[in-house]
Amino acid sequence: MVALREPVRYCDAIRLLGADDPGVLELIDRLVADEATDLLAARTDLVGFAHQALNKLDRESHLLSRVERTRYIAAAHSVVVVTAFFESLDDTELPFRLDNGLDDAASGVADRKRLGEFVALLVSSAPPLPRPQRSASDGRTRVRRFYLRRCKQLPSVLRGMPLWEELDESQREAITDRLGSSLADRCVRRYEELRDKLAASFPEFGAWAALSTVRPRSAGTETPMGLSRLQHRLQSISTGRVPSAVRGALARAHQERLALPSNVQTGGTHVPPLSISYVNPCFRVTEIAAQTRPHDPGWWQEHTEVRDDLAEFLLGHLTSPRALTHPLIVLGPAGSGKSALASVLAARLPESDFTVVRVSGRNLPAEAADQALADRFDHALAASGGGNCDALPVLVLDGLEELATHCATSRSDLLAGLERFQQERAAGPDPVAVVLTCRDSTAARLRFPLGSVAVHLEDFTNAQIAAWLSIWNRVNASYFHHHGVAPLDWETLEAHFPLARRPLPLLMLAVYDGVGNALRRLNAPLRETVLYERWLRMLTDAADRADPASTGRPPEAESDPAVRSGRIEQALLTASLLALSLFHRGGRVVDAATVAADRDELVRWPPHYARPLDPLRLPCVHTTDALEGAPPGLAFTDPVLGDYLVARLVAEELAELAEARIRELRSIRPAPLDDSFLYALLSFTPLSASGEVPRFLAERLRLLAPHVRDELRLVLADLLREAGRHRREAHYGGYRPVDLGAAPRDAVYTANLMLVLVAVHGGAVPLRELFGQDAVARWRSLAHLWRSQLPPEQWAGLRDMLRVRDDGRGGLAVHPYDGTPVEDDPGAQTDLGEVARDAALLADSGTQQLLHALSPLIRLFGGDVTARGGGGVSDAHALLALAFGAAQVPDEELVAYYERAFALADGLDSDERLRFTVFLLRQLRGHTHRLGARLVPLTARHVRPIRVARSARPSVRRLAEEHNDHVTAIRDVLAGRG
């Protein structure tokens, strides 16, 4: 199978669709090679072939596999675009006749060469392919721009021919007008007719072109559920091929998982299975570019529109060429339903055309080198019966936030390796589609592959909440009736809408209200942390009471609230220690024995204490599958619960320290503050390794009494100033979840103290108040300690959690990250963007000055302008050399620099492209005598006169005149006339 490329060149499309037609293959090869210039004759033959090929493709589409359909549809679209151009050109009235074609009008060798170049350029062009992440109007605009470029080239071909001299000025203007925007508009109208015909034959192409995304939605429209439309649409275009036994078994497993009732114990209520309760969320979608900020809700609101056609979008994406070369990234806050979407998607894709393999983030190799990734994915695909052209493998990597954080490879490097794996597969016979899920908080520290498609799941609308609530009440009607509990109604839930707009908190609210209508007894809306706390306490108490003989629950717990509360606190402490074990090991497998050993090192229960509840009895904890001989591990049903428990444990210890300091200040024999337990908790992993832990911690700390919070600020400041001066392992030296030396542990501990101090302040922390007069030097020393000792992923998390800014008084202040980019931001998805964020946290004024100096280049060409691909020079180096250092550059390199510069110009908007091209031509004019014949190929491609509309601004007309003056001068020198 030929590798897919997007977009498809017209000549390649003809070769694919006409593979069994030697005549058309010979014709297209002659046109590409500039051996045939009779545009009229070639146009007639190609248009006739195009309609025959499209009709044949429609008749034989049932014989194609899923990947073959994608290839042939992409090729058919390129043929449709160029065919519309040919047919519209044929209908264009001109003030002369070309009975024998343009070839007849091209009397001289130069004329024929110019015409041949135009024909070769046309048949080698790659028309823009519709993409489901873009609107139909955007696709129309891109196609019209393609036509305009072709139309602008035609008059320049005619001007060099003898017949042009025979026309008067009005006839010349008429030709320019009829071969300009009006021809482009006629091309677009004909293209839309052919496009709609192609969409009628291939419904997935209609989804590519987003032809059904704009539709009226009445108030009574039923809320889409369960991606059922995706399943029905894919089944309607299915190849119908019988899957292998392995593929069939895998598909049934996905479907059964969707239909199984949840194993979450809810105190009596029943959680509806996803097969009947999954509500299709609204979403936003974009392509990742250098300036994309996928973690920032404000960026999404400013640059994208909300869509409600998730099933249609997924149909378009998974059947498009882009799905085979770039990952689909599903983003959203914690609890927004990303994993649920992955489960539903796996169950809805027909096994005759797709093989879905789910891989949890925690199951990826700790050292995510390219070969390790390729081996893991290849093994997973082979085990599932994938890896053949009958069905497209879809690899679902669920939970980037669960990847290991202690390894030497960052998540961004893993994503780059994943992109290479996908593109290597796309170049061979077995392409693979990739779907990733990732939290917003984790996305803030990632560099996604450019060109990837990102989907952001939106909060539930009122209609979606109502649809889910109706299912919940219907499933639990029997329980409500037998236990005298009222169904959860709209009025009760309305006070908690900020939480209820995400699937996980909505479920937790429903479960919480299911026990005695607890929500109705509240006087104020619940905070997110309070909801987690009450929900966990409810589940813990229910699990402890379920089997007192097994759980060790004492009889007095039934009658004594203090004993009952103590049991719950003990159970939540053990659950928090489990969460801490998982957190410190950063996504690695943790078994029950390891968790027990950690607990024994940190907490020593007195002998007379009743045995605490085993965390495995909690319904929010489950055992993961064993992987490659490793023991089964423990995990939370949703990782956000573990994050909350880590924040809870740290907040409880911080409150204890503050209250201990208050007590010591009143004592006649004050003792030094003992932070050894806090050091054991916070010296192995930065809290910023999970973006949710600092958020939960800040919310818990806001609930402290004001005097306790004030004292905690002083305690943390003292600990941070004294950090590293004494060891704190007196009581907990045996607790070592990961093997770290003294310097890395001090780095982690001080980083966590800073994170907590910022959280307690709730805003800026002035460094001068913290460190005194040498605050800047102390801060830089501390920040460089973090940079040198933390693994890449942990440093990235810390860097994107804190900001250092001028405090307005000649000093610096540390701020919590508020979503705003750094000064002179080169782009969140670029290498230079990471350098800028590093410099901001390190207070590295030298690097910041250099970035400021480069900012004009960065704004024009993007943050990758300084990237050195393959060890060569960067684009920035080439441009600066052309402007200021050409005398020191060898001739061959100077020509190569000009090639790169003209290629950069092609990526700019029209006004910027004109200004930059004039600059390049001005420089090139000065080097023409020096470079001589070496410039001939370059000038043939890039140095051409331009025309501007009469309505253009005066500044644009002046630039165009200067542009053409330079072109004339350069051509004269090369022709020996200058």
pLDDT computed for residue 971 by the predictor: 86
pLDDT computed for residue 214 by the predictor: 43
Quote the CA–CA distance of 439 and 443 in Å, as a whole number. Answer: 6
pLDDT computed for residue 367 by the predictor: 57
Q: What is the CA radius of gyration of the chain?
A: 33
- Collect all residues with Cβ–Cβ distance below 8 Å to 247 and sequence separation of at least 6: 351, 355, 384, 385, 386, 391
DSSP secondary structure, 533-551, as one string: HHHHHHHHHHHHHH-HHHH
Q: Which residue has the tokens 């010296």?
A: 683
Pairing of strands 453-457, 328-332: parallel
Q: Reply yes or no on whether the pLDDT at 253 is more than 70.
A: yes
| pLDDT band of 38, cuts 50, 70, 90 | low
Quote the CA–CA distance of 921 and 466 in Å, as a whole number. Answer: 63
Question: Is 445 in a helix, a strand, or coil?
Answer: coil
| pLDDT band of 578, cuts 50, 70, 90 | very high
Which ranges in 319-353 belong to alpha helices (H)? 338-348
pLDDT computed for residue 404 by the predictor: 60
Pairing of strands 812-816, 765-766: antiparallel
| pLDDT band of 198, cuts 50, 70, 90 | very high
More confident residue, 646 or 399: 646
Averaged pLDDT of the chain: 85
Pairing of strands 812-816, 802-806: antiparallel
What are the contacts of 936-942 at 24+ separation with CB within 8 A?
936/974, 938/895, 938/898, 938/899, 938/902, 939/970, 939/971, 939/974, 941/902, 942/902
More confident residue, 22 or 178: 22
Section 522-529 average pLDDT: 90
pLDDT computed for residue 216 by the predictor: 42
| pLDDT band of 241, cuts 50, 70, 90 | confident
Q: Is-contact 644 696, C-beta < 8 A?
A: yes
Section 178-194 average pLDDT: 88
pLDDT computed for residue 646 by the predictor: 96
Burial class (CB in 10 A: 0-12, 13-18, 19+), 59: exposed
Of 10-19, 151-160, 305-314, minimum mean pLDDT range? 151-160
Q: Is-contact 686 752, C-beta < 8 A?
A: yes
* Sheet strands (E) in 847-919: none
In this predicted model, what pLDDT tens digit does every residue of 374-405 receive, in sequence order? 666 677 667 666 555 578 999 998 888 877 66
Of 488-497, 654-663, 848-857, 948-957, minimum mean pLDDT range? 948-957
792: tokens are: 């890449």
The winner for highest mean pLDDT among 109-118, 729-738, 941-950 is: 729-738
More confident residue, 787 or 170: 787
| pLDDT band of 203, cuts 50, 70, 90 | very high
The winner for highest mean pLDDT among 23-32, 720-729, 966-975 is: 966-975
Q: Reply yes or no on whether the pLDDT at 263 is more than 60.
A: no
Sign of CA dihedral 254, 258, 261, 267: positive
Q: What is the 3-state secondary structure (H, E, C) of 232-284?
A: HHHHHCCCCCCCCHHHHHHHHHHHHHHHCCCCCCCECECCCCHHHHCECCCEE
pLDDT computed for residue 923 by the predictor: 93
pLDDT computed for residue 856 by the predictor: 87
- Calculate the CA 429 to chain-centre distance: 26
Q: Reply yes or no on whether the pLDDT at 917 is more than 80.
A: yes
Question: Is 319 in a helix, a strand, or coil?
Answer: coil
| pLDDT band of 465, cuts 50, 70, 90 | very high
Of 167-181, 445-459, 578-592, minimum mean pLDDT range? 167-181
Quote the CA–CA distance of 813 and 779 in Å, as a whole number. Answer: 10
Q: Is-contact 384 369, C-beta < 8 A?
A: no
> Which helix (H) or strand (E) is 955 found in, with range?
helix 954-974
Pairing of strands 392-398, 354-360: parallel
Q: Reply yes or no on whether the pLDDT at 509 is more than 90.
A: yes
More confident residue, 819 or 262: 819
Q: Reply yes or no on whether the pLDDT at 691 is more than 50.
A: yes
Q: Reply yes or no on whether the pLDDT at 170 is more than 70.
A: yes
Quote the CA–CA distance of 398 and 617 in Å, as a whole number. Answer: 25
pLDDT computed for residue 40 by the predictor: 62
715: tokens are: 């305690």
pLDDT computed for residue 841 by the predictor: 93
Which ranges in 740-844 belong to alpha helices (H)? 742-761, 767-771, 775-789, 792-799, 831-842
In this predicted model, what pLDDT tens digit does every residue of 539-571 receive, in sequence order? 888 888 888 878 888 888 888 888 889 889 999
| pLDDT band of 192, cuts 50, 70, 90 | very high
Return the percentage of the chain with pLDDT > 90, whole number.
Answer: 45
319-340 core/surface letters (b: 16 or more CB in 10 A; e: else): bbbbbbbbbbbbbbbbbbbbbb
pLDDT computed for residue 99 by the predictor: 41
Quote the CA–CA distance of 210 and 318 in Å, as a whole number. Answer: 14
For residue 485, which of 508, 516, 522, 507 has the smallest C-alpha distance? 516
Cis omega (within 30 of 0) for bond into 132: no
436: tokens are: 């990733």
Q: Reply yes or no on whether the pLDDT at 227 is more than 80.
A: yes
Quote the CA–CA distance of 228 and 622 in Å, as a whole number. Answer: 29
Return the percentage of the chain with pLDDT > 70, whole number.
Answer: 88
pLDDT computed for residue 704 by the predictor: 93
| pLDDT band of 302, cuts 50, 70, 90 | very high
Identify residue 674 by its one-letter amino acid code: D
In this predicted model, what pLDDT tens digit does every residue of 75-124 receive, in sequence order? 999 999 999 998 888 777 665 544 444 444 444 545 555 666 677 778 88
Quote the CA–CA distance of 535 and 637 in Å, as a whole number. Answer: 14
In this predicted model, what pLDDT tens digit does every residue of 581-637 receive, in sequence order? 999 987 667 888 899 999 999 998 777 777 788 888 888 888 876 544 456 788 888
SS3 content of the chain, % helix, strand, coil (to 5): 60, 5, 35
Quote the CA–CA distance of 352 and 121 in Å, as a whole number. Answer: 40
pTM over 0.75: yes
DSSP code for 458: P
Quote the CA–CA distance of 600 and 74 in Å, as a whole number. Answer: 61
Question: Is 739 in a helix, a strand, or coil?
Answer: coil
The winner for highest mean pLDDT among 142-151, 268-277, 309-318, 932-941 is: 309-318
| pLDDT band of 783, cuts 50, 70, 90 | very high
Quote the CA–CA distance of 762 and 428 in Å, as a whole number. Answer: 53
pLDDT computed for residue 2 by the predictor: 47
Q: Reply yes or no on whether the pLDDT at 262 is more than 80.
A: no
DSSP code for 622: E
